[in-house]
Amino acid sequence: MHVNRGNLRHPINGKSLSRHEKEMGIQIAEMEKYKYICSEREGCDIGKRAYFEWTQKYGKKVREWLESLPSEEIDALFDNLPERIKHYIIQKAH
């Protein structure tokens, strides 16, 4: 039996996450990776500058890539995010 995980409610608060919300979580995770790499390279936490740079350099390309993926792949990518990012998205959902 195939279960469409995209319509399941999250156990923390009963909210059903939309595909867009999951895509936002994936983008946040990518932004955090970029911030970590840039901060390591510069030897200090570069903070919000990294998020701005990521958005300018990669935001459009990543959104287009995510939009090209089937929902099952979005679900799998979201499921593999760190719990703190999933929790943040769930808190901000709807």
pLDDT of 14 above 70: no
Residue-number span of the structural domain to which 51 is assigned: 17-92
Q: Which residues contact 40 (CB under 8 A, 6 or more apart)?
A: none
Report yes or no on 39 lying in a domain: yes
Greatest CA span in the chain, whole angstroms? 50
Task: Report the domain count for the chain.
Answer: 1
Task: Categorize the per-residue pLDDT at 91 as very low, low, confident or very high, splitting at 50, 70 and 90.
Answer: very high
User: In this predicted model, what pLDDT tens digit does every residue of 62-84 receive, in sequence order?
Assistant: 999 999 999 999 999 999 999 99
Q: pTM of the entire structure?
A: 0.81
pLDDT of 94 above 90: no
Give the torsion through C-alpha atoms of 87, 33, 56, 50, to 10 deg: 90
